[in-house]
Amino acid sequence: MIRRMEHILSLIENIIRPEVRSLSAYHVADSSGFVKLDAMENPYTLPEGLKQQLAQRLADVAMNRYPVPSYAVLKQAISDKLGVPAGFPVVLGNGSDELISMISVACAKPGAKVLAPVPGFVMYAMSARFAGLEFVGVPLAADLSLDKAAMLAAIAQHSPAVVYLAYPNNPTGNLFDKDDMLEIIAAVGNSGVVVVDEAYQPFAQASFMPLLPKFDNLVVMRTVSKLGLAGIRLGYMSGSAALMGEFDKVRPPYNINVLTQAAAEFVLQHVDVLDAQAAQLREQRGKLAAALAALPGVSVFPSAANFLLVRVPNSEQAFAKLLEHKILVKNMGKMHALLENCLRITVSTPEENAALLDALSASL
């Protein structure tokens, strides 16, 4: 048995790249039986009538056939309903994660680098390393705002092929200064692409999508996950036709399955329902932020997303106590020095928010 394990370890060392061996797999906590406030999901489902209509639509899907590879109907629905400028193509991904991976693969020239503020979405760095790219993280300022001077210096030094700017940022929840971002886009110029990740746009109600005609190196990336469709795994991005054409070359064929396609096309016909849910969550975000800030020793950071970053006296202890109350949040305390003793909490229904507040108050 020991000998066989030695052979397996030798095999792995021989065939797996060292930068992959050094990584940890993306961890998703088991949430069975918990109030789930760790993954920025929309807690609301579709109304019963729409559920029945969707069920019939999915029942009629020809699952024995491959999807139509152009996804023309779905792309048009996204353009029409979600504000993509006329004439700008849409590229689809199995969630934003696949889009990030596609960008990394397409841009993985020898010596190329990916740059992003940190702390930020972990998949920017992970996908870069998967593709053999070097990742350069530029720390945010102490107040978690974008450090424009440091970003511009890093761009000048590293000439990155890809720069990610999340708007709003995950896990901090704040919107970076728009003028600072425009200066960064201009500084990168034609030496790289700037990807503005708008995963939380329904809650921020601010977007760089209208600016696509002004910047050839700008890509705007979004997902329908936070809008209320996390389970169907659908992301999309838009930018210049030439740039999207290159990224589309590395998109796996048939990457959006027919059930996702049918579900998205149906729900986008009723996007007003999802918009109303987002409005409810924005209202709850303000109420939850005020209630959390009133707790002793708790600081709440400004958020334009559907989650709140809060600093507590001891995040390890608070996280453990919340688990005892069957409430799952994200402990960010060890992710980055700027997030010491921080928890990330998804904004949910009034009932789940109240349960969170009671449990956190008791844990403090």
The string of DSSP codes covering 117-129 is: EES--HHHHHHHH
Burial class (CB within 10 angstroms; exposed 0-12, middle 13-18, buried 19+) of 77? buried
Residues 244 and 308 in one domain: no
Asked whether the predicted pLDDT for residue 26 surpasses 70, the reply is no
Residues 243 and 336 in one domain: no
What pLDDT does residue 221 have?
A: 98
pLDDT digits (tens, 9 = 90+) for 199-245: 999 999 999 999 999 999 999 999 998 888 899 999 999 999 999 99
Q: Give the CATH number, domain containing residue 136.
A: 3.40.640.10
Residues 80 and 190 in one domain: yes
Residue 182 covered by a domain: yes
Residue 128 covered by a domain: yes
Residues 230 and 161 in one domain: yes
Q: What is the mean pLDDT of residues 117-145?
A: 96
Residues 195 and 285 in one domain: no
Of 251, 269, 287, which residue constitutes the final position of a domain? 269
Q: Is 307 helix (H, G, I), strand (E, B) or coil?
A: strand
Residues 287 and 198 in one domain: no
Residues 328 and 190 in one domain: no
> How many domains does the structure of the chain reveal?
2
Residues of the chain with pLDDT > 70, as a percent, come to: 98
Residues of the chain with pLDDT > 90, as a percent, come to: 87
Q: Give the CATH number, domain containing residue 359.
A: 3.90.1150.10
Residues 164 and 306 in one domain: no
E strand segments, the chain: 35-36, 90-93, 113-118, 134-139, 162-166, 193-197, 218-223, 235-238, 299-300, 307-311, 327-328, 330-331, 342-346
Q: What is the mean pLDDT of residues 331-358?
A: 97
Q: Which domain holds residue 327?
A: 21-46+272-363
Q: What is the mean pLDDT of residues 36-57?
A: 96
Angle between helices 48-59 and 258-268 (to 10 degrees): 140
d(CA 191, CA 175): 25
Do 176 and 154 meet the contact criterion of CB atoms below 8 Å apart?
no
Residues 329 and 341 in one domain: yes
Residues 244 and 280 in one domain: no
Residue 137 contacts by C-beta under 8 Å, 6 or more apart in sequence?
115, 116, 117, 118, 120, 125
* Residue found by looking up tokens 């932020």 in the block: 289
The predicted model scores a pTM of 0.94
Do 173 and 309 meet the contact criterion of CB atoms below 8 Å apart?
yes
What pLDDT does residue 20 have?
A: 80
Residues 161 and 301 in one domain: no
Residue 53 covered by a domain: no
Residues 215 and 312 in one domain: no
